[in-house]
């Protein structure tokens, strides 16, 4: 079977949720399932924050800046494609946090084509290098209250963000596979719709994200592995000191093949009780730095997660080192069918779906099931 490489651009206006979506993609398409995810960070941000290059007064014009952006982007894309061809995994996702046509939103069509011509490229040639485009609509359209979540340094006001969102969508409008992911429900739904679209793009069925949760007797994990081909991975979630009572901060270390992935998460609770969760991948060094701010009143939540399929349903079992007799089971799918599909090898103690006593933060405090 030939290697399957798919190149997907994440774009949209400011504060659209791209970084959180990238975190979710890294968790969703795992190495143990045969996937390799290669991410290309936003080039303009890298140049501004890393090199001090940007369309600043006394530095360069916006048009001049785009030469640097496109040059760096082309180089990154070549390296990513080479990497995708080299890695042993047969299924590879290349995820672009913005790509070359995003630059069209900042300069004229004539300037854009002139810049591409300098590098020997045409708009048609560049556009054909991406298999699909997901346009995440800025929070400035329909979720204004969350506009600055996760980026206190954002400089565009709401009107400017809406304008950039429109211009970015227009820049990518000629691509045959553009999907617009709006803010019509809530942020979690937005990310779920984006993930579902990626599954559709790669030609796989979309997993059901609804799930039921049960406290169960400790199963025989060897049976899970032998009979249900369960795969396991180690995870650790650490809660951080919070200066704002309405913001919960945490970091997570998650096994990924022979390596680890690291994530920083903020959960905000609105006055009406609504949740808004933002997340971003972080480096191992950043993870270690965050550990210095751990909440000493809460234990890190360590667990081994077993993933498997039984009776046509995805299931997960979380096994905690502080409990030798009980574990937590998640069953994905319609709640009414959940208990009917649970294998005989698993004994339910009680349904704890939505029970706050069995959420990770409570477990971090009491260390028992």
CATH number at residue 322: 2.40.320.10
Residue with tokens 């779906």: 353
Q: Can you tell me the distance from the alpha carbon of 195 to that of 28, in angstroms, rounded to the nearest whole number?
A: 8
Q: How far apart are CA 118 and CA 112, in angstroms?
A: 10
Token digits of residue 252: 């997570």
> Is 190 found in the same domain as 45?
yes
Q: Note the maximum CA span of the chain.
A: 71
- 216/195 same-domain check: no
pLDDT at site 338: 78
pLDDT at 369: 93
228 and 92 both lie in a single domain: no
Q: Residue 83 belongs to what domain range?
A: 4-202
Nearest to 5 by CA among 67, 89, 75: 89
The SS3 of residue 337 is helix
pTM: 0.87
Q: Please tell me the predicted confidence (pLDDT) of residue 273.
A: 65
pLDDT at 89: 93
pLDDT score at 214: 96
pLDDT of residue 50: 87
Regarding whether 114 and 258 lie in a shared domain, the answer is no
CATH classification of the domain holding 196? 3.40.50.300
Neighbouring CB atoms inside 10 A of 25's CB total 21
Sign of the dihedral through C-alpha 238, 241, 245, 249: negative
Q: Which of 146, 172, 202 is the last residue of a domain?
A: 202
Which residues neighbour 14 within 8 Å (Cβ) at sequence distance 6 or greater? Answer: 138, 140, 147, 154, 156, 161, 164, 165
Is the separation of the CB atoms in 9 and 22 below 8 Å?
no
Q: What pLDDT was estimated at residue 51? A: 87
**93 and 64, same structural domain?**
yes
Task: Report the chain (369 residues): mean pLDDT per 10 consecutive residues.
Answer: 91 93 94 92 91 87 94 96 95 97 94 96 96 96 77 70 94 96 91 96 90 96 94 95 88 91 89 80 96 95 95 94 96 81 94 94 94
Residues 158, 215 share a domain: no
Residues 217 and 136 in one domain: no
Whether residue 255 is found in the same domain as residue 196: no
d(CA 24, CA 92): 16
Q: At what angle do helices 109-118 and 62-86 cross, to 10 degrees?
A: 50
pLDDT at 258: 82
In whole angstroms, give the CA distance from residue 181 to residue 191.
8
| Boundary-marking domain end, from 143, 174, 202 | 202
The domain boundary, picked from 202, 235, 269, lies at 202
The verdict on 131 and 260 lying in the same domain is no
185 and 37 within one domain: yes
Q: Concatenate the DSSP letters of all residues of 192-203 into one string.
A: HHHHHHHHHHHT
Q: Would you call 249 helix, strand, or coil by DSSP? A: strand
Q: Are residues 96 and 234 in the same domain?
A: no
Total domain count for the chain?
2
110 and 216 in a single domain? The answer is no
């Amino acid at each position: 079977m030939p290697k399957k490489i798919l190149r997907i651009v994440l774009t949209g206006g400011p504060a659209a949720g791209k970084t959180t979506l990238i975190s979710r993609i890294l968790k969703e398409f795992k190495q143990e399932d045969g996937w390799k995810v290669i991410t290309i960070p936003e080039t303009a941000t890298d140049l501004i924050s890393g090199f001090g290059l940007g369309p600043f007064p006394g530095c360069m014009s916006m048009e001049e800046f785009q030469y640097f952006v496109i040059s760096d982007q082309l180089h990154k894309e070549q390296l990513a494609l080479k990497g995708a061809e080299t890695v042993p995994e047969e299924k590879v996702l290349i995820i672009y946090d913005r790509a070359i046509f995003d630059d069209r939103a900042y300069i004229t069509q004539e300037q854009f084509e002139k810049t591409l011509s300098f590098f020997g490229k045409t708009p048609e040639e560049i556009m054909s290098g991406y298999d699909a485009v997901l346009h995440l609509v800025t929070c400035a359209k329909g979720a204004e209250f969350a506009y600055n979540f996760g980026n206190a340094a954002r400089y565009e006001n709401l009107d400017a963000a809406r304008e950039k969102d429109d211009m970015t969508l227009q820049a990518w409008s000629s691509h045959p596979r553009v999907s617009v992911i709006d803010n019509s429900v809530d942020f979690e739904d937005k990310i779920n719709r984006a993930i579902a679209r990626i599954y559709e793009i790669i030609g796989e069925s979309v997993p059901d994200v609804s799930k039921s949760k049960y406290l169960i007797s400790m199963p025989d994990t060897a049976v899970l592995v032998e009979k249900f081909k369960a795969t396991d991975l180690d995870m650790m979630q650490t809660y951080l000191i919070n200066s704002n009572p309405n913001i919960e901060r945490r970091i997570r270390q998650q096994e990924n093949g022979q390596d680890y992935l690291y994530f920083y998460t903020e959960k905000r609770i609105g006055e009406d009780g609504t949740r808004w969760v933002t997340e971003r991948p972080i480096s191992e060094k950043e993870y270690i730095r965050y550990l210095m701010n751990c909440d000493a009143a809460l234990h890190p939540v360590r667990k081994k997660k077993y993933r498997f399929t039984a009776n046509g349903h995805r299931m997960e079992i979380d096994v905690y080192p502080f409990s030798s007799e009980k574990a937590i089971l998640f069953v994905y799918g319609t709640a009414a069918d959940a208990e009917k599909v649970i294998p005989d090898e698993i004994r339910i103690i009680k349904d704890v779906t939505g029970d706050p006593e069995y959420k990770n933060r409570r477990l971090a405090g009491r260390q028992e099931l």
